[in-house]
Structure 1
Amino acid sequence: MTTPLRTLGAGLLLLGLASVGQAAPQHALTLYGEAPKYPANFKHFAYVNPDAPKGGTLRQPGTGSYDSFNPFIPKGNAVDVGLIYDSLTYHSPDEPMTEYGLLAEKIDKADDNSYVRFILNPKARFHDGTQVTADDVVFTFNTLLEKGDPMYRHYYADVAQVVAEDKLRVRFDFKHKENRELPLILGQLQVLPKHWWASRDFSKNSLEPPMGSGPYQIAKFNPGSSVRLERVKDWWAKDLPVSRGLYNFDVIEIEYYRDTQVALEAFKAGRFDVNLEYSAKDWNTGYDCPAKRNGQFVQEAIPNHNPAGMQGYVFNLRRAKFQDVRVREAIALLFDFEWASKQLFYGAYKRTNSYFANSDMAARELPDAAELKILEPLRKELPPQVFTEVFNPPVSDGSGIIREQSRRAYQLLTEAGYRIENDKMVDANGQQLSFEFLNFQANLERVILPFKRNLAELGIDLQIRRVDVSQYVNRLRSRDFDMTSAIWPQSNSPGNEQREFWHSSSADNPGSRNLMGLRDPAIDKLVDGLIRADSRKALVTHAHALDRALLWGHYVVPNYYVDTWRVAYWKRFGRPAVTPLYDYGLMSWWEERPAGTPTDPVTPAQEAN
C-alpha cells in the first residue's frame, strides 16, 4: 500500500533523485515527450470562444436514479460529480494524449521516467477558500488506494510512493521506468480536501454534497430524482488558459428518468436541452414531433475520432458452461449483425471487429515481424489462429437465415460434448445449454430477441432478465450474471486501464471492468507489454498483439459501433466554430436564449404556474 514517506529514508531517496537527469518543469505533459499543440504562453484552446457569455441554465438527463455523491467507492449508484473537482492536469480533447496544468501550475517529469513532480498553483482553492496543498494530493491518492474502488489499485499499481516535498510540491516515484503513461494518469487525479474528509467516512455512501475545487458545486438536490449544480462565480481557475471559454452555464440541472425511452419523450417535450442518442432506431424515427418539424430543436451527427473500443455481449467465464472456447464461439456465431443492421439499425452501425475499433491499433492484418517478436514466446499459450488468421466476425446475407453459421455452431458444440436431445442442446449429463441475459435497457431487448430466436433454433435457451439500474449495478459488482452487454472504451493511448479490463489481478475485484473474469497468463504479459511500450510505434504493435489474442479467445459476442456523436439539442445555444476532435464540446457551449421563451413548448410544470 502506498504511504507518504517522511522519514530519513525518504530524504536519502530525494538526494538520490537529484542526480537523475531532468528537464525544466513544463506547462504540459505528452506521452512520448513530443511538443504539445499549445505553447506555454497560450491564451485559450482553439475549440472555445474565449468571450462566450456566462449565464443561463443547461438541463440534462440522468438515467435511473442515484443514492450517493461519492463515485470513488464500489458502492451505490453515484452521481457523476466530475465538475465539482479539479484535477492536477486538464486532458485536452483536441489532442490524442496531452495534459496541461490545472491544479498543478508546472509538471516536472524525470527524463528516465522514474518519477513525476507536480508543482501546485498557489492560487488553487477549495470552495471554502482553503488552499489546495500537496498534503491534499497525498491524502487523495492514499485514500483511493485504501478505501476507493479496487480499480485504483490496478490503475496506480506502478506507483512506489507519493511524497509531499513541501506545501506545493508533490512527487510520485515509480516502481519501474517503463510505464510512460503513468505521469499522465496521475495528472488526472481529482484532488479531495483532506480537511473536509477528516470528520467523514470516505468508505460509505453519502448524500451530503461534497466539497471540491472545481467550476461547479451542488446547490440543491432531490434524492434519487434531480441535482442542481451552480457555477462557482469566484472559481480560482476561471481565468486560466485551460478554462477560458468553458463552463459558461450558471446552472446545470440533471433530472433522472426511468429509462432512455422516457427521457426521449421528456426531451421532445422540452424538459431538458441536450440528448446524446445511442439508439439508431430512435435517432431515425423517435424524434419526429411538432417541435422538430418547426425547427425548435435539431439533430446533428458530430464526427467522433475516438477509438470505438469493444462493445459486445460478454460471457461470464466464472460459469462452467462458458469455460470452453468452442461453446463461446458457437454462441457468438448465432448473432446476426447483417439482419439487425438492415431491419433494426437503419444501416447506421459498423460491425465491431476489434477491441480497438475505429483506430490504427486494430489488428486487421496478419502479425508482422515486430509483432511476432512479442507473440512467439507465448505461442503455446495462445490460440493457434492468432498466428495464422485475421479475426473477422461471421457475415450473413441479411435475410435472417444463417444456415452456415448454425452448422458451424452445431459442429463446435458437438466437439465440446453437447448433443441434441428432444430438440434441446444438452451436455453429457442431459442438462440443456441455457443462460440468462442481464439487461436494464428496454430498447436493447429488440436486438436480443432475434439472437434468442437463433439460439433457440439450435436448442439453446436464452432468458432475458430485465432489472432496474440499481439491481443491475449490484449484480455486475457481485458477478451475478451469465451474459450482459458491456462496453470497454479505449483512448488513443491505451495503458494502465488495460489491467482493469483484462488482467488476472482484476478478475476477482468487485466492480472491476474485468467482467468476464479473464485469467490468462499470456494476456497478462501482453497487457504488461502494452503498458511499457516506449514509442507510438511500439504501442500500436503491442495493441495489435493484445487485440488478436483477445479476439481469438471469443470472450464476447462483438456488437457494433458508430463513429459520430449523435446529438439532439434545442436551439437555445451558441457553439464555438471549432469542435474538438475527441469530444462534442458541450462545456464550451453557452446559452443564447433562455428556456421557456415563447418558441419553446409549454411544459406541464409551466402550465401549473
Structure 2
Amino acid sequence: MRIFKNLNKCAIKRAAPALMAMAVTVAAMPLASLAEPAHGIAMYGEPALAEGFSSLPYANPDAPKGGTIRLAEPGGFDSLKPWVLKGNAAWGVGVHVAESLMLRSIDEPFTLYGLLAESVETDPERTWVEFTLRPEARFSDGSPVTVEDVMWSYETLGTLGHPRYLATWSKVEKMEQTGERSLRFTFKEQDRELAMLMGMRPILKKAQWEDTDFTQSGLEPPIGSGAYLIDRVDPGRSISFRRDPDYWGKDLPVNRGLHNFDEIRYDYFGDANAMSEAFRAGEVTIWRELSAQKWDSEYDFPLVIEGKVVKSEIGHDRPSGIMGLVMNSRNPVFADWRVRQAMIEAFNFQFINNTLNGGRDPRITSYFSNSDLAMQPGPAEGRVKELLEPFADDLPPGTLEGYALPEGSENALDRRGLRSALKLLEEAGWTVQNGALKNAEGRPFAFEILLNQSGSAMRTASETQQIVDIYVEALRNLGITATVTLLDSAQYVQRTNTYDFDMTWYERALSLSPGNEQMLYWGHDGVTLPGSRNWMGMNSPAAEAMIDAMLDAGTPEGFTSAVRALDRVLTAGRYVIPVSFSPISRLAHSADLHYPENTPLYGDWPGFMPEVWWQEAKK
C-alpha cells in the first residue's frame, strides 16, 4: 500500500517559496500586481512556477502514453452539454473536451497558468484583465480558436448558460477585442478574483452553437480544443473519450505528463453497490473507497490477493467542505434556527460514526475545517469580530460568541441530545401531544428526507440510507415523523434544482481560495433562482458581506479573516447536520495504473485523476 503520511509537511515545504514571495509582494505594495503580460497569475503574490517552467510539479513529464482507464459513475446521463441547466450531462465532457484560457494548478491555493492564452495582464487594482491567445490554439476539427469564439462563449454562457456562470458575467462592464489575438474584460466593481475567474470559463466553438437554442440539452458531441475527443456514446450507460493524436497543446509545459491514457471510459451503474461489484470483477479499473471501515475489512477479494489490484492513500491539505443532511429553510418548519439546532442535537454523530465507520474519520466541525481558513474556537476576535459586529443583532447565537456541535453519545439513545432538542423545540412552539410533536395549531411535525438512489460523490446510497435510518429512529423519540423518499438521479436533480425538498443529502467541496462561487452557494439569489447551490435557502446579509470582504481583500491576512468570519455565519446558521470527512483519499486501482510520487497540495482533486495518471505497458 502506498501511504503518504507526511503530505502536510511536504505540501507546506513545497508551498514555502510561493508563500515567501507572497509575503514579500504584500510588504512591498498594498496590492499584488502584474505590470506586464505574464505566463500566470496568482490570487496573491506571484505564481510559484517561474516563466519557462518545464512541467507542473505534480506531473510526471516522462509518463508513458497509451492504455485505458475505466471509471464508474452512478445513475445515467441524457446530455453531452454540461454548460446548461437542462438535462443530466455525462461526466467528463467539460473536463476532457473543452478548455479554458488558463489552467489551474492544484499544487497552489489559487494560481492559473496559460493554456489557450499565452499571457495574462491586469492592473494593480485588478479592475480589468487582458488575455492574449496562443496562435497555435486549435479546435479538434483543425479550426483556430479565435477571439470571436472566446467572446461568444463568455456572453452566451453568461446570459444563457447554467446559473453558475451568471453572477460573474453580471460584474463585467464591457468585453472588447484589443488585438488580433487579445481581448480585455473591464469590471463594474472591485473584486480581485474576477481577473482569475475570467481565465477559467470553457471556450466553445461559436460556429457549432450560434444557430441553435443553446439553453437546450442534447447529445450532439461538442467540438472542443481539449486533449480528448468523444469517441463512443451509449446514452445513459457509457461514454468513451479518445486522446486526440493531433491535440494542439500536447507539448505545452502545463500539459507535459498530463492526458496519458489513449482512452478514458466512464460506465454508468444503477447504484454504488453495482459499481463496486464491477470494480471487484475487473470491469472498472479504479475505485474511490469512501468507507474507512470497508477499506480495512473488505479488500481481500481475488484481484487484491493476486496483486492485480493495489491500495493507495493520498493525503491533502484542503478544507473539509460541508457534507451531511441539509435543511431547506424555505420550508417554514426549518425557518427557525432553534428547530434546526434541535435537528442537530437529535443526530447522534458519535454512535453513527462508530457504528457505520468504526469511528475512523473525524467530524466536520465547520465548512472550512481542516485548514487555516476555519473559524477559530471560542469568541470572535480581532478583524473577524470587526467584520461581524455590524450584523450582531441579526446573527444566530454562537456566531460571535462561539459555536460547537454537540458531542453525541456512544449509546444508540442519546438522552442528553434528545432533552436539548425537546427544550429547543418547545421554545420554538412545538410540544409533544399524545405521543406526537405538534405546534399550537395541532399540526404534526412531519417532513420528507429526499435521497438519490444512486448515492453521491462522497457517500454510497446504502451509506446515506443507513445514516438516515438511524436518524429517523432518533426523531421518533421526539414525536417527529420523517418520511424517506428515494429517487433516481434524473428526478433527484430536477427536485433539488427547484428546491422541492424538506431535507436531503448535501455535499459542497471547498477550496483554499473561496471566492465568487460562494455567492452561488450561499447568496440570496439562490433562494428563488433555480439551479443554485444554495439548497438551504439562506438569505444572510452578513454572509454576503463576508464574501464581499473576501473578494476585496488586499492581503492574505485580510482574506483569511473574512473567510473565518463567513465560516462562523455558515456554521452557526445551523443549516446542515454535518457528518465525517476523510483527511485522505482511499483509491484502489489496477496495479498497472500509476501516479507521481509528488502529490499536489489539493491531493485527489479535479485535475489529478485521471489527468496525471498513466498505465504501464503490459509485459
Determine if the TM-score, normalized by the shorter chain, exceeds 0.5. Answer: yes
Match of 1:589 in 2: 613
Deviation at 1:494, TM superposition (A): 0.6
Q: Are 1:124 and 2:137 counterparts? A: yes
Amino acid in structure 1 at the alignment position of 2:47: P
For the pair 1:523 / 2:523, whether they are aligned, the reply is no
Does residue 165 in structure 1 map to residue 178 in structure 2? yes
Change (3 A) 1:30 1:241: same
What amino acid is the match of 2:446? S
CA distance in structure 2 between the partners assigned to 1:299 and 1:396 by the alignment = 33
* Cα distance in 2 between the residues matched to 1:372 and 1:590: 48
Question: Is 1:262 the counterpart of 2:274 in the alignment?
Answer: yes
Aligned equivalent of 1:551: 571
CA 1:286–1:157 in structure 2 vs 1: closer, same or farther (change >3 Å)? farther
> Match for 2:361 among 349, 355, 360?
349
Residue 366 of structure 2 contacts residue 375 of structure 2 at CA under 8 Å; is this kept in 1? yes
Tell me if structure 1 keeps the 8 A contact 2:347–2:408. no
* Equivalent residue in structure 2 for 1:68, among 79, 90, 95: 79
Q: 1:375 Cα shift?
A: 1.3
Counterpart check, 1:578 vs 2:598 = yes
Contact 2:348 2:417 in 1 (8 A): no
User: Are 2:380 and 1:380 aligned?
Assistant: no
Deviates more, 1:415-424 or 1:394-403: 394-403
Paired position in structure 2 for 1:304: 316
Q: Does 1:478 align with 2:490?
A: no
**What SS is found at the alignment partner of 2:229?**
strand
Cα shift at 1:349: 1.6
Alpha-carbon separation, structure 2, partners of 1:134 and 1:167: 8
Aligned equivalents of 2:164, 2:597: Cα separation in 1: 38
Q: CA deviation at 1:579?
A: 1.5
Mapped contact 1:89–1:187 kept (Cα < 8 A):
yes
Aligned to 1:237: 249
2:65 to 54, 75, 78: 54
Q: Shift in Å at residue 553 of structure 1?
A: 1.6
- Is residue 325–residue 506 contact of structure 2 (8 Å, CA) maintained in 1? yes
Q: How big is each residue's C-alpha offset from its partner over 1:138-173, in whole Å with a ceiling of 9 and x where there is no partner?
A: 111110121111121123442222212233101111
Q: Please say if 1:403 is aligned against 2:423.
A: no
The answer on whether the counterparts of 1:135 and 1:167 sit within 8 Å (CA) in structure 2 is: no
Distance 2:249 2:201 in 1: 17
1:149 partnered with 2:173: no
1:3-14 correspondence to structure 2 within 5 Å: none
SS across alignment from 2:158:
helix
Please tell me the residue identity of whatever aligns with 1:539.
F
**Taking structure 1 as reference, are residues 22 and 404 closer, same or farther at Cα in structure 2, changes over 3 Å only?**
closer
Q: CA deviation at 1:400?
A: 1.9
2:113 corresponds to = 100
Is 2:107 aligned against 1:87?
no
- 1:495 equivalent to 2:508? Answer no
2:405 to 393, 397, 400: 393
How far is the alpha carbon of 1:22 from its aligned partner? 5.9
Partner of 1:313: 325
- Within the candidate set 294, 299, 311, 1:287 is matched to 299
Other-structure match for 1:333 = 345
Q: Deviations over 1:209-242 (max 9, x none)?
A: 1100000010111111011100011111000000
2:480 aligned with 1:445, yes or no?
A: no
State the SS of the aligned residue for 1:40: coil
Task: Report how far residue 198 of structure 1 moved.
Answer: 2.4
Q: Give the aligned length.
A: 572
SS in 2 for 1:106: strand
Q: Does 1:250 align with 2:262?
A: yes
Q: How far off is 1:359 after superposition? A: 0.9
Q: Is the 8 A contact 1:104 1:118 kept in 2?
A: yes
Structure 2 Cα separation of the partners of residues 42 and 123 of structure 1: 19
Structure 1 residues 511 and 292: CA distance shift in structure 2, 3 A = same
Which residue number corresponds to residue 469 of structure 1?
Answer: 489
Please name the residue that 1:39 is paired with: 50
Which of 178, 187, 201 pairs up with 2:213?
Answer: 201
Contact 2:175 2:186 in 1 (8 A): yes
Per mean C-alpha deviation after superposition, the further-off stretch among 76-85 and 207-216 is 76-85
CA drift at 1:112: 1.9
Secondary structure of the structure 2 residue equivalent to 1:420: strand
3-state SS of 2:520 partner:
helix
Q: Distance in 2 between matches of 1:593 and 1:573?
A: 10
Q: Which is worse superposed, 391-400 or 473-482?
A: 391-400
Unaligned runs of 5+ in 2: 1-32, 456-460
Among 422, 425, 428, the alignment partner of 2:437 is 425
Cα distance, 1:281 vs structure 2 = 4.2
Say if 1:356 and 1:362, in contact at 8 Å, map to a contact too. yes
Instruction: Give the counterpart letter for 1:575 in structure 2.
Output: Y
In terms of mean alpha carbon deviation, does 272-281 or 56-65 score higher?
272-281
Superposition deviation, residue 555 in structure 1: 1.2
Aligned partner letter, 2:595: R
How far 1:476 moved relative to its partner?
A: 0.4
1:102 deviates by 0.3
Q: Give how far 1:505 is off.
A: 2.0
Matches of 1:288 and 1:22, distance apart in 2: 54
Are residues 581 and 391 of structure 1, via their aligned partners in 2, closer, same or farther at CA, if it must alter by over 3 Å? Answer: same
Give structure 1 stretches of 5+ with no counterpart. Answer: 1-20, 598-609
Asked whether the 8 Å contact 1:115–1:174 carries over to 2, the reply is yes
In the alignment, which residue of structure 2 is the partner of 1:505? Answer: 525
Q: 2: CA distance between counterparts of 1:435 and 1:281?
A: 31
Q: Tell me if structure 1 keeps the 8 A contact 2:337–2:396.
A: no
Counterparts of 1:384 and 1:458, CA distance in 2: 23
Counterpart residue number, 1:214? 226
Give per-residue Cα distances to partners, 1:476-505, cap 9 Å, x unaligned: 012111000111211111110110011112
Rounded Cα–Cα distance in structure 1 between residues aligned with 2:252 and 2:161: 30
Query: Which string of whole-angstrom CA distances, capped at 9 and with x for unpartnered residues, describes residues 413-455 of structure 1?
Result: 1111111112111111212111111101331111111111111
- Over the matched positions of the two proteins, sequence identity in percent amounts to 37
Q: For residues 376 and 392 of structure 1, what CA distance do their matches in structure 2 show?
A: 20
- 1:86-131 deviation line (CA, Å, top 9, x unaligned): 1110101111111100000000111221100011001000011111
Preserved contact between residue 353 and residue 391 of structure 1 (Cα < 8 Å): no
In structure 2, do the counterparts of structure 1 residues 477 and 79 end up closer, same or farther at CA, with 3 Å as the change threshold? Answer: same
CA pair 451-72 structure 1, distance change in 2 beyond 3 A: same
SS in 2 for 1:191: coil
Q: Judge conservation of contact 1:155–1:499 (CA < 8 Å) in 2.
A: no
Task: Tell me by how many angstroms 1:46 deviates.
Answer: 2.0
Tell whether the 8 Å contact from 1:284 to 1:346 is kept in structure 2 after alignment: no
1:362-387: CA deviation from partner (whole Å, max 9, x where unpaired): 11232112112111111112124222
1:78 aligns with 2:98: no
Change (3 A) 1:162 1:205: same
SS in structure 2 opposite 1:292?
helix
Quick one: which amino acid aligns to residue 81 of structure 2? N
Q: Is the 8 A contact 1:268 1:287 kept in 2?
A: no
What's the CA shift for 1:396?
2.3
> For the residues of structure 1 that align with 2:41 and 2:148, how far apart are their CA atoms?
22
Following superposition, the deviation at residue 546 of structure 1 comes to 1.1
d(CA) in 1 for partners of 2:168, 2:435: 48
Distance 1:475 1:285, change over 3 A: farther
Q: Distance in 2 between matches of 1:276 and 1:532?
A: 37
Which residue does the alignment assign to 1:190? 202
Distance (whole Å) between structure 2 residues aligned to residue 239 and residue 309 of structure 1: 35
Letter aligned with residue 590 of structure 1: W
The 2-side partners of 1:575 and 1:73 are apart by 33
